Amino acid sequence: MLNPKSPLPLYHQLAEIILAKIRSGELPPGCRLPSEPSLAATYGIGRPTVRQAIDVLVRRRFLTRRRGSGTYVRPEPEEVDLFSLAGTTSAFQKKGISVVSRILEKTRLKSAPVDAENPFSEQPAFFISRLSLVEGTPVLLEEIFMQPELFPGLDEIDLAGRSLSRIVEERYHMRPEGGRQNFRIVNVDGKRAHHLAVTSATPVLLVKRFLTLSGLQNAIYSELYCRTDQFVFSQSIGETSRE
């Protein structure tokens, strides 16, 4: 029960009680939360306090409100092995998830922005910007840089709806042999925030990926901006991505 003498606000205490029930399975994913009046009566507090507690858990993405229906426990995010050799699209499809990839900018040769980590920094490279959506919700933004000497004519290929890794293999006869990746949490703004449908205050997982193709290091460099509120992005130990 709630402790009025505790230094923790009552709404915070209630939020922790509800969260404990979610984690224990007493309130499983998809379960409808008792109504605000019911919770207020159960814990002997006012509805505004209950509403504050629910607001906290909605912001933390443990609960979701459905207009005209009530408040429900959010389903656990599905796990997608995004960084396996199968490639981006295949990673979703293996989970039975239908994903739509949208090319945001036509493939073109451009000078990469200044970035000490980007092997193409201030050098010309083919640039591809691609957005992946699941059920209309953007979940992954990819910005890809590729060595123009290795991929002549890439800017003449229509990549819409096609697997980049398959094109690289079938047209250029190269396959990933390894690479490395690093991870960090960032905030995005401008076009990136717009494409991902997030605000500048939303934390996003950024993966910087360096791929080796046919013995050529850093043949492809990409930055992946992942919405972890929609999926858990994982990596199988010992594997690297094909894209």
User: What is the pLDDT at residue 87?
Assistant: 59
User: What is the pLDDT at residue 84?
Assistant: 52
Retrieve residue 207's tokens.
């993966």
Mean per-residue pLDDT for 78-100?
Answer: 64
Domain ranges of the chain: 10-73, 78-233
CA nearest to 141, candidates 153, 154, 130? 130
Residue 86, pLDDT above cutoff 50: no
The domain defined by 10-73 carries CATH number 1.10.630.10: no
Q: Which residue has the higher pLDDT, 42 or 75?
A: 42
pLDDT class of 89 with cuts at 50, 70, 90 = low
pLDDT class of 124 with cuts at 50, 70, 90 = very high
Average pLDDT over the chain, rounded to an integer = 86
Residues 138 and 188: their CA atoms lie apart, in Å, by 14
Please name the fold of domain 78-233: Chorismate lyase (3.40.1410)
User: What is the pLDDT at residue 95?
Assistant: 65
The predicted model scores a pTM of: 0.65
User: What is the pLDDT at residue 67?
Assistant: 87
Helix (H), strand (E), coil (C) string for 131-147: EEEECCEEEEEEEEEEC
pLDDT class of 81 with cuts at 50, 70, 90 = low
- What CA–CA distances, in Å, run from 206 to 118, 143, 184? 14, 11, 5
